[in-house]
Structure 1
Amino acid sequence: MPTLPSLSRRRFLGAAGALGAAATLSVPDAALGVPDAAGAGVGASGSDVTPIAWQSLGSYPGTDAAGGRVTAILAGSSRYLIGPWYAGTYTRYLPDGYIDLKGTDERAVRLPAMAAVAAATALTTGTYDPRTLSAANATIRTRNLIRTLAARHRANNADPATRWGNGWQTALWAYYTALAGWLFWERLDTTERDHLATLLAWEADRLTTGDDVHLIGTGGDQLYMTRRDGTVVTPGDSKAEEDNWSAAALSLAAVMMPRHPNAARWTRRNIELLLAAAACPQDLTGNRTINGVRLSTWLQGTNIADDGTLQNHARLHPLYMVAFDQSLYQGFVFGLAHRPAPRAALHNINRTYAALVEKPFPLPDGGTTPIYRADSAEIHYPEGNDWGTHFPFYFGNFDLLVTLTGQDTGIHPAAAKWERLHNEAQLTLMSRFPDGRTYGATGENTYYGREHRIGAMAAQAYLTLFLARNTTGNRLRWR
C-alpha cells in the first residue's frame, strides 16, 4: 500500500484554502458526553477494533479496463469533494475544535460521511489526484470530517443541539463514518478511534433489538413491504434499501470488532436483514437454508417480486433495484479482514439483475424493451423516474459488482458489457467539468447529495475491485 502523507499529531490543522488565515489551530479536546441508554449495549472502544492489515493484502494495479474507469471516477469525485466542496462548506471551527456540520440531519451528516469514504479510499489506495489540493492537505480535511462526525454522534455527545443518531437512516451514516475511519485508522488518535468504535457499536446494538418482523424493537419500522398473508404494509415502498443499509452497519461492526461481546449478535442480525431485504414470494415456501436461516420459516414477508423487480416511491423503480449494491459491498468489507462474507448478501441478486437486463416492458409505440436498452447506456424507467435524468454510474457500479461476484450467470448480455456502457457514460458526464464533479443542472439528479453518492459508490466499487483483482488472488469469498 502507498504511504499516506505525514500528518502532525497536533489534533487540528487547517488545510490551505479551507479556513483562510487559520492555517494552524491549536484547540482543546472536545468535551465527551454521556450517551443515553437506548442502544448503548456494553459499549466499545478503539482497542476493540482490528485494524486493516494492508501489508498482507497485496495490491491492485487498476490497469484492467473496468478498473481504469472506476479509478478515474473515484479520483475525480474525491478531488471535487475534498477540494471545492469541502472548502465551500466548512469555513470555520466551533469553539470545541470541531468543524461546523451545520445541523444534524441527512444533509449535515450523511453528505460529509460519504465524502469522507471517497477521500479516505482515494488517499489510502494511492488513487487520489493532487492536482488542485495536495495529498497532505486532503488528508487533514478527511480526518476533520471523520473526527467531527464521530464526536457528534449521540454515543459520544450529550448536546441535543449537535448530536445525531438513533434515526431512520442513521445506521447508514454510521456505516459511512466508521468505514472512512477504519480506512484512515493509522491517521487517527486514541480519542477519535474510541469515538468511531463507540458510535458504530451503539447503532449496531440498536439494530439487534429487532425480530423477524420489525427492524428495531417490537414495533415501528417493519422489515417487509408485504406480509406473508399478502397484506401490503407500505404500499409502493419496499423495505429492501432500509434493510440492507442497516445490515451494512452490522457487518462493519462485526468485521471491525470481531472480539467484541456482541459480535455474534451483529453477525446473526446482519444475515437476517440481508435475507429480508431481498425476500420474494418464492422464498416463503420450500426448504432452502442460507447461513443457518431457513427462509420459509424465518421470513415473515417480502420486498421484491418473484420476477426480481421492486417498488419504491409508488412505482417500479430501477434505481432502487440497483440499491442492492449495498449488499454486495459486504464482499470487500469482509475481504479487508481476510474473512468470507455471508452468502446471504448474494441472495436473489441474479434474479434482480435478470429483471434489469432481460425482462421486457411495454413501450408507448407498442413495442417492448428491457430496463437496460439494447447496446446503449440509456435506462428505461417503466413507470418513470422521480429523481432526475442522469444516473449511469448507479447502474455501472451495480454492473461491476455483479460481474465481480458472478451474479450474472445465465444472463445475456453479461454484466461486463453493461459496466462499460454505463461507466463510459459516467465519464462523459464528468468530462464536462474541470473540478471532478459529475452533475450540472439540478434536473440531472435532484438529490442534494448527488456528488457525494457518486463518491461513496466509486470508493466502494474500487475497494471491491481491490479485493477481487488483487495481486495475491481474488479475495472476495462467500460462505
Structure 2
Amino acid sequence: MIRIHCRIMVLAIAAVNGAASPPMPIQIPDQAPPMAREVQQRIYQAAQKQAHYLIGTVRPWSEDAALRLLTDSKSGEHWIRPNAGAIEGLAFLHRFGPYDPKVVGASRAELLQGTLIPMMRYLVATHLTGERPTSDRKKWGDAWQSAHWTQMLGRGAWFVWPDLPPDLQTGVRRVVAHEADRIARTEPPHQLRSDTKAEENAWNSQVLSVAVLLLPDDPRRAGWEKAFQKWAMSSFLRPADARNETLVDGRPVREQFTGANIFDDFTLENHNFVHPDYMTTFSLSLGCTPDFVMTGRRPPEALLFNVAPIYENLKWMLLPDGGFVYPNGQDWELFRNPSWLVKHVLMAVWARDPDAWRETRRCLDTLEKMQARQADGAVFHPREYFFASTQSDLLRSLANAWLTLQLAGDIPDTPKARVGVRRWEQAKVILNRQPGAIHTVSWGAKIMAQCVPNRLDRLVSPHERNGVGGIRREGGKGILPLRLQEAVVEEGENWFEARLTVDHGQEMRAHLRFRSNADGSFLMAEKLVALTNTITAEVATGLIGILNNPYWIYEQGKRRVAADGEAVEAPAGKAQRWRWETARRILVDEVLEVKSERPLRAAYVASDRAERGRVTDQLILNHWPGTRAWKAGETLSDFQAVIRCGAPRN
C-alpha cells in the first residue's frame, strides 16, 4: 500500500511539473448548423467588441511590468475573477472564429504575447502555489470562489495551450490541480432557506472538469471525474429527491442525495429571498458540456438534472427585452439581459428546449443595442453595473455560447406563450402572466406586489417594497420592518387574490388586498391602522417603483406623470417631487394607469441617483410627509386602486 501511494504521488508531481502528456485535444466541427450561423456570427462580433473594451483596461503590474492585469493587484474576488474571466474570453478569440484584428484592436499574435501570457503569468505567480503575493501582500487561492476563478484560467490556457511557454503550462497545471484536489476531497454543502449552495456547488464542479482536460493521464483523473459528477448532481437537488428512484448516471437519485439546494417547486432562495438570477446558475455546470463534446466524451446526465423545470419557472418571469420580473426584488443590476443569453443557448442546444432559441435572439437584440451606445465596445454602461466582473464575465459567456452553437445539432424553435397563473408554494409567490402585464404577489421572504408592463420598457422597477411601501417613525432610523401576520391566497385559471395582514414594526398594521384579474387589471387596496399612539416622520405606502434611467436603451431618460389631467415631466435623476391631495386618476407615460374612486393623497418622488445600477423613482398612493401624531386605532388610509399596464382606458 505504501509503495502504491508513493507511486501515485510521484506520478502526480511529475504531471504537475510538466512531464505529463498533452491536454485533451480539441475537436470541433468546421461550422455551426445553418440555422445557428447568423446568431453565432453576431455573438462573435459582440465578443470581439467587448474584448476591445477589456484590452483597453489592461495595464502593467506596478511591481513587475512584465506582468499585466486589468484591476488593482489584490487577492480577493473583485480583483482575481475579472482577470481570470478576461483570460478565458480572450483565449477563446485567439483560438476560434473569424477573428478581425481591426475590431479587437490587436492581432492574434499581439493578443497572445502582449495580453494573454502576461495576464496568465500574473495569476499563476500570485496563487498560493506561486512564488509571490499580490500587492495586498496576500496570495489568492483556497477561497470560497477560487475554484471558479481557476476554472477560467485553466480553460483559457487549454484553448491556447500549444502557444504557451512550457513553464507557464506547468504553472497553470499546478494551480488547477491544487484547486481541483481541494474540491475533490470536500463534501458539497446544501442549504434551502436564505442562501442556497446551488451556485457554489455548480461553480466548484467546473474546476474538476478543467483538471481532466489539462491532466488527462494524471492518476487523480478518476477521482476528479467522480467528484465532478457528485458536485454537479448536488447543485440542484430538491427535498423530494431523497425518495427519487429515477436513474441518473446509472444510479437512483435517492442514492446520490446529499441534501437539497432548491425547493420542491424548483425555485430557490439566495441573498435571503427568491432570486431568479440564481435560478439561472445551472449554466455553470451545464456550461461544462462543451468540454466533454469537444473531447469526444459523453457528458454526465447530472448536468441536466432538474434543469428543465427550473428553466420552465424562469420562462414565466421573462420580459420581451430578455430580462426578468423579480417577485422578491432585485439586489443585483437590473439590466443584466446580455448575461442571460448563454443560458438560453445552453438550453436550446443541450436540453433542446423549444422556447430557448426565441429567448436567445431577444437577449442578443438587447445586447447589440446596449453595445451600440459606446465606441469602446463595452456592452454595459458604467452607471448600469457595480459588480467588478460584469464586463469580463460577459465575454467568457459569449465564448461559451459561440462554442455551444458550433457543436449544435438541429435546434428546436417552436416557442409558445405562457399565459395564466403560476403559483410557487414553497417560494410563497404567485404570478399571473397576461399579454399586456405580469402581476406578482409574494408573502414569504419578501412581502411585495406589483403590476409590470409586459413590454420592452418595463417601466416598473422591482423595488422590494412595491405594493406595500414604508413608514418612518419620528426619531427612528430607516423605515419600519415588515412582519406578515396572515396570508390568504386564492387563484383560478387566469386570476388570483391575496389578502395579507402586515405590520410595520409595532406601530402600524396594514390590511392589504391584491387581485389580479383576467382582463389584465390589478387591484391594490390598503387599510392602514395605528396599533399604538405614535409619531411618524413620513408615511409612504401603496408604493410603485418607477424606472427612470438616462442611459437604458428602452427608456427615454424622463417620465411623464399626469394626475387628473395635470401633467408634469420628471427628468431622470433630478430629485424632484410632486404631491396631489385628491388624485383619482394617475398616468405614467400613458402606460401605467392608477384609478381610484376615493381621492388619493399621492406623490411622485424622483430619485437623484442610480442605486444598484438603476434609477428608481417612487409613485406613492398614500403619502403623509412630515411629523404627524397618530392615536391607537386611528385609520391612516383606506384606499382601493385599480392599476392597468398598457393603453389606458377612459
TM over 0.5: yes
| 2:83 is aligned with 1:112 | yes
Equivalent residue number for residue 126 of structure 1: 97
Q: What runs of 5+ residues in structure 1 fail to find an aligned partner?
A: 1-38, 216-222, 227-234, 358-369, 471-479
Counterpart contact for 1:119–1:128, Cα < 8 Å: no
Q: What runs of 5+ residues in structure 2 fail to find an aligned partner?
A: 1-8, 411-650
CA distance in 2, matches of 1:249, 1:388: 27
Equivalent residue number for residue 151 of structure 1: 125
- After superposition, give the CA deviation of every residue in 1:431-466 in whole Å (9 maximum; x if it has no partner): 111221111143x22212211111111111112222
CA distance in 1, matches of 2:243, 2:353: 24
Equivalent residue number for residue 40 of structure 2: 67
CA distance in 2, matches of 1:312, 1:49: 42
| 2:367 is aligned with 1:426 | yes
Equivalent residue number for residue 332 of structure 2: 387
Equivalent residue number for residue 610 of structure 2: none
Alpha-carbon distance change, 61 to 78 in structure 1, aligned in 2, over 3 angstroms = farther
Q: Secondary structure at the match of 2:262?
A: coil
Equivalent residue number for residue 315 of structure 1: 273
Q: Secondary structure at the match of 1:107?
A: helix
Mean Cα displacement is larger for which, 159-168 or 236-245?
A: 159-168
1:329 Cα shift?
Answer: 1.2
Code of the aligned partner of 1:386: D
Selected match of 2:108 from 115, 123, 135: 135
Alpha-carbon distance change, 61 to 416 in structure 1, aligned in 2, over 3 angstroms = closer
Q: Secondary structure at the match of 1:45?
A: helix
Selected match of 1:46 from 11, 18, 24: 18
CA distance in 1, matches of 2:270, 2:364: 24
Equivalent residue number for residue 224 of structure 2: 266
Selected match of 1:451 from 391, 395, 405: 391
Counterpart contact for 1:426–1:438, Cα < 8 Å: yes
Equivalent residue number for residue 476 of structure 1: none
- Report the structure, 1 or 2, having the larger strand content: 2
CA distance in 1, matches of 2:271, 2:318: 20
Code of the aligned partner of 2:366: A
Question: Alignment length, in residue pairs?
Answer: 391
Selected match of 1:183 from 146, 150, 159: 159
| 2:194 is aligned with 1:236 | yes
1:49 Cα shift?
Answer: 5.4
CA distance in 2, matches of 1:186, 1:314: 45
The structure with higher relative contact order (CA 8 Å, sep 6+) is 1
| 2:57 is aligned with 1:85 | yes
Q: Secondary structure at the match of 1:236?
A: coil
Report the RMSD for the aligned CA atoms in angstroms. Answer: 2.4
Q: Secondary structure at the match of 1:383?
A: coil
1:286 Cα shift?
Answer: 2.8
Code of the aligned partner of 2:67: Y
Structure 2-normalised TM-score?
0.57
Q: Which protein is bigger by CA-based radius of gyration?
A: 2
Equivalent residue number for residue 57 of structure 1: 28
Alpha-carbon distance change, 307 to 191 in structure 1, aligned in 2, over 3 angstroms = same
CA distance in 1, matches of 2:352, 2:224: 26
1:181 Cα shift?
Answer: 0.7
Alpha-carbon distance change, 277 to 67 in structure 1, aligned in 2, over 3 angstroms = same
CA distance in 1, matches of 2:10, 2:309: 38
Identity %: 24
Equivalent runs, 1:171-250 vs 2, <5 Å: 171-211=147-187, 215=188, 223-226=189-192, 235-250=193-208
Counterpart contact for 1:157–1:163, Cα < 8 Å: no
Q: Secondary structure at the match of 1:68?
A: helix
Counterpart contact for 1:281–1:302, Cα < 8 Å: yes
1:274 Cα shift?
Answer: 0.8
| 2:406 is aligned with 1:466 | yes
1:271 Cα shift?
Answer: 0.7
Counterpart contact for 2:304–2:351, Cα < 8 Å: no
CA distance in 2, matches of 1:389, 1:310: 19
CA distance in 2, matches of 1:146, 1:96: 14
Mean Cα displacement is larger for which, 390-399 or 282-291?
A: 282-291
- Report the structure, 1 or 2, having the larger helix content: 1
Code of the aligned partner of 2:343: F
Equivalent residue number for residue 372 of structure 1: 318
Counterpart contact for 1:172–1:245, Cα < 8 Å: yes
CA distance in 2, matches of 1:436, 1:246: 31
Code of the aligned partner of 1:393: P
CA distance in 2, matches of 1:468, 1:61: 7
1:98 Cα shift?
Answer: 3.0
Code of the aligned partner of 1:72: Q
CA distance in 2, matches of 1:95, 1:66: 41
| 2:142 is aligned with 1:166 | yes
Alpha-carbon distance change, 47 to 345 in structure 1, aligned in 2, over 3 angstroms = farther
Counterpart contact for 2:338–2:364, Cα < 8 Å: yes
Equivalent residue number for residue 346 of structure 2: 401
